[in-house]
Structure 1
């Protein structure tokens, strides 16, 4: 191998398995969320694979992500979930992207863009039931829904909201949001028009709250085999799709009391063997794992020694042996042990979403399974 020894390996068959498990559990159409480079797994390769697996729809955060998928030949319906600026409306419509309309003002901007292009926009109405992020408040959304239904240039395909606490099965917040969303949807009955596609469930909703499944679900992180939170219940048989691996590039003996890495924050009590691994916070590997993270070498766990650097970090292997080019597993399996993303997030003091999405393009990705060629 001549490319960088640090790499991300994505198992597309694991994504296939997870999608099948979700479908079996919920029994309704699935919008596969592929924003943020498909949670670090690779936007275009994952979207192509999901399309091949017959996922019903895709969801992205931004206009640019939707355009990238269209340019890659993705023909599925794609909903842009994020808030939009008025000038983006025409590009959304021109690229056949479904638009989140989150206010009466945004509705008017989309209408104007659609009229200027001479083609209708497909929109999903965003109702705020408790996130206080984007969307019209559920208690005042009547005029907004009425205007959208009456629009000559917008076709209302869906109405949705986002669950704030569904990762926690014990939180009472989800029940309140379900009730508020139902009240918002009742305006369609009041107006005597057909109910559009209702979607509410994110990954937490899929795992814990069947009452949120409605007409479609929007799983994100569980598609990739990762639980959204340590408190989440494992109600799905999930297979992690990502492994993060590197190789030993240096070996040395460090004498007792000699500090390792920046800040001299860690030193061994006795003479020990230390290896260097070529990945750091410049790749998105959390600096907060300094002196508390672990890796697998030859199927055994070893601790990170000292602070993680921008491009490298060191590992204390004690009296054991490791040679240059030996594999180092940061996420994934080695021997009879495995390190999961959830475990890494807990050690880093963050959430699994951040661990996945901060892994940047400096790390090459390769793919196995499905119909995808190996490598990108």
Structure 2
């Protein structure tokens, strides 16, 4: 085959998304369990946070599944995420929690997305867009109680509340703040933030306006501070079965929804004294058996796991040796270890009687579980098991 014939043959080949030996498995039944368990524990409705590609689990499939499970509200960070969900047929209310950019406000309204309003100036931008489109805007007021990120300071929230309540073009559905230290159940800051937030909310009573939905609790709040649950909660990482911090307590029985798996693609014996990978940072102390795994930092698997991380091969923990490459890394089986091409390698998840948690990977990498999950990029195909998507195609 030559020239254009070869090109035509390559162009006609359409591999399935799950042909790559490296993949993410998302257990939708685990996601369902976590949603219902967190809602029961909080005793109020859940806003499922699906920003950042649903913490690496897949924005659209996760949102569709939560909608099928009866969730009443979703939260995203960017208007683009909300638009993607609307285009995918997700119909439940969606709050965009990030700061708004004036030229984008019309997109919020056109796609029926709820808007975070964090100042009177932002309120005026929303009113102007709503008036020009002739559409009512649904808004949530953002109060800063200690993050110093976005939101009016709690002690200065009165004028914003009054202006929002009086607005002709805005309907105040909610008021919220974000907890800075709730991942640590011993931190006193959460109680102070709750006090500041509730004091700001009392301004609705002072002016005789109906109280909107008050939402304050994130994952840490739900797990550790039940008095922050108020009218609705916003669990993020806990929804996916991962603890937000080493100090967190497992007050709710959660199930990890994500596994990261690959396969052995090469086996060799590395002689004593030979080095492995870039920089020659690891030297074989004796003849040892080494396998290559086709995933690397180009997929979002941290380079900081070089000679620090572990994987499961044939039910045994094996160390990563040498530097993690962009697309591959090497694993030491030891002098007597055995593995064959296409054997499964588990980077996050269970195999046999052992398991490697996302939290353990984050600890080894010197980071937090949030960064591990959200760093797993689109180069890795996702496949969904359980739920209504059992047996369906990978995404």
Cα pair 1:92 1:98 within 8 Å, conserved: yes
Query: What is the CA-CA distance between 1:24 and the residue it aligns to?
Result: 1.2
Query: What is the CA-CA distance between 1:374 and the residue it aligns to?
Result: 4.0
Q: Following the alignment from structure 1 to structure 2, what is the Cα–Cα distance between the partners of residues 375 and 91?
A: 30
For normalisation by structure 2, the TM-score amounts to 0.94
Task: Report matched runs for 1:42-121 at 5 Å.
Answer: 42-121=58-137
Task: Report matched runs for 1:181-330 at 5 Å.
Answer: 181-318=197-334, 319-330=336-347
Deviations 1:162-185 (A, max 9, x none): 000000001111011000001110
- Map of 1:375 onto structure 2: 394
Which of the residues 322, 337, 343 maps onto 2:354?
A: 337
Q: Following the alignment from structure 2 to structure 1, what is the Cα–Cα distance between the partners of residues 47 and 68?
A: 14
Deviations 1:294-331 (A, max 9, x none): 00001100000010000000000002111110000000
Deviations 1:181-218 (A, max 9, x none): 01110110111111000000000001000010000000
Structure 2, unmatched stretches of 5+, are: 1-15
Q: Following the alignment from structure 2 to structure 1, what is the Cα–Cα distance between the partners of residues 150 and 81?
A: 19
Q: Following the alignment from structure 1 to structure 2, what is the Cα–Cα distance between the partners of residues 23 and 80?
A: 21
- Map of 1:147 onto structure 2: 163
Structure 1, unmatched stretches of 5+, are: none
Runs of 4+ in 1 over 4 A off after TM superposition: none
Query: What is the CA-CA distance between 1:23 and the residue it aligns to?
Result: 1.3
Deviations 1:260-306 (A, max 9, x none): 00111111211101100000000000000000000000110000001
Matched residue SS, 1:141:
helix
Query: What is the CA-CA distance between 1:375 and the residue it aligns to?
Result: 1.8
Count of equivalent residues: 376
Q: Following the alignment from structure 2 to structure 1, what is the Cα–Cα distance between the partners of residues 359 and 288?
A: 29
**1:171 pairs with 2:190:** no
For normalisation by structure 1, the TM-score amounts to 0.99
Cα pair 1:265 1:307 within 8 Å, conserved: yes
**1:354 pairs with 2:371:** yes
**1:128 pairs with 2:144:** yes
Query: What is the CA-CA distance between 1:255 and the residue it aligns to?
Result: 1.0
Matched residue SS, 2:243:
coil
Q: Following the alignment from structure 1 to structure 2, what is the Cα–Cα distance between the partners of residues 350 and 79?
A: 28
Query: What is the CA-CA distance between 1:356 and the residue it aligns to?
Result: 0.2
Q: Following the alignment from structure 2 to structure 1, what is the Cα–Cα distance between the partners of residues 248 and 330?
A: 32
Query: What is the CA-CA distance between 1:81 and the residue it aligns to?
Result: 0.4
- Map of 2:39 onto structure 1: 23
Deviations 1:65-112 (A, max 9, x none): 000000000010000000011111111011100000011110000000
Which of the residues 333, 343, 364 maps onto 2:381?
A: 364
Which is further off, 17-26 or 353-362?
17-26
Q: Following the alignment from structure 2 to structure 1, what is the Cα–Cα distance between the partners of residues 132 and 177?
A: 29
Cα pair 1:368 1:374 within 8 Å, conserved: no
Q: Following the alignment from structure 1 to structure 2, what is the Cα–Cα distance between the partners of residues 343 and 99?
A: 36
Q: Following the alignment from structure 2 to structure 1, what is the Cα–Cα distance between the partners of residues 75 and 115?
A: 11
Matched residue SS, 2:168:
coil
